[in-house]
Amino acid sequence: MIILLTGMPGSGKGEVAKAFQKRGIPVVSMGDAIREEADRRGIPRTPEGLKEVSLKVREELGPGAVAILTIPKVEKLLETEPIVVIEGVRSPYEVEEFRRKFSEEETIILAVHSPPRMRFERLRKRGRSDDPKTWEEFVDRDRKELKFGIGEVIALADYMIVNDCSFDEFQTKIQEIVSKIISQI
């Protein structure tokens, strides 16, 4: 079984991924596929470089390109693991690629949703090099994410965690959903 973990930047996907990892379930990051491809092509891992790689692989492999790059790693893990979480699914084309390979019955979409102002504050505190510094940059980034089709993926979710609460309350919600999903196997 694969779990496609999606949500806007700063929604809390990383915390959900950690909860699965703590239970011994491997997590594959879609972003890692792009970073590894950048390395393979000799392109620096800067925001500009990663964007360039993203665009190139989509030109070469189609709109589900990042999923196509991720699938071999997932297949390898599924040889020994009953569940693999794929973090960072952003488009319906990626969902389609995963479902084509692993079947709809074996694919669960788990979305994390959080209000924009809360996500903006989290991203500012997180401070990654590609995180927005201003509200305008944040809104621009959200628009780009939505153009990829992430809103459609969120709408297709089998499970949704709403992260509009304290960290401890969010952790409780995560544990409830993770337990519920794992119990289905």
pLDDT of 46 reads 86
| Domains of the chain from N-terminus onward | 2-183 (3.40.50.300)
Q: Is 127 helix (H, G, I), strand (E, B) or coil?
A: coil
Cβ neighbours, 10 Å, residue 133: 10
Asked if 40 and 70 count as a contact pair (C-beta separation under 8 A), the reply is no
Name the binding residues: 7-14
Among 150, 144, 143, CA closest to 50: 144
Binding residues for ATP: 7-14
Give the model's pLDDT for residue 137: 93
- Considering only CA atoms, which of 9, 6, 22, 10 is closest in space to residue 182? 22
Each residue of 128-163: pLDDT tens digit? 777 889 999 999 999 988 998 999 999 999 999 999
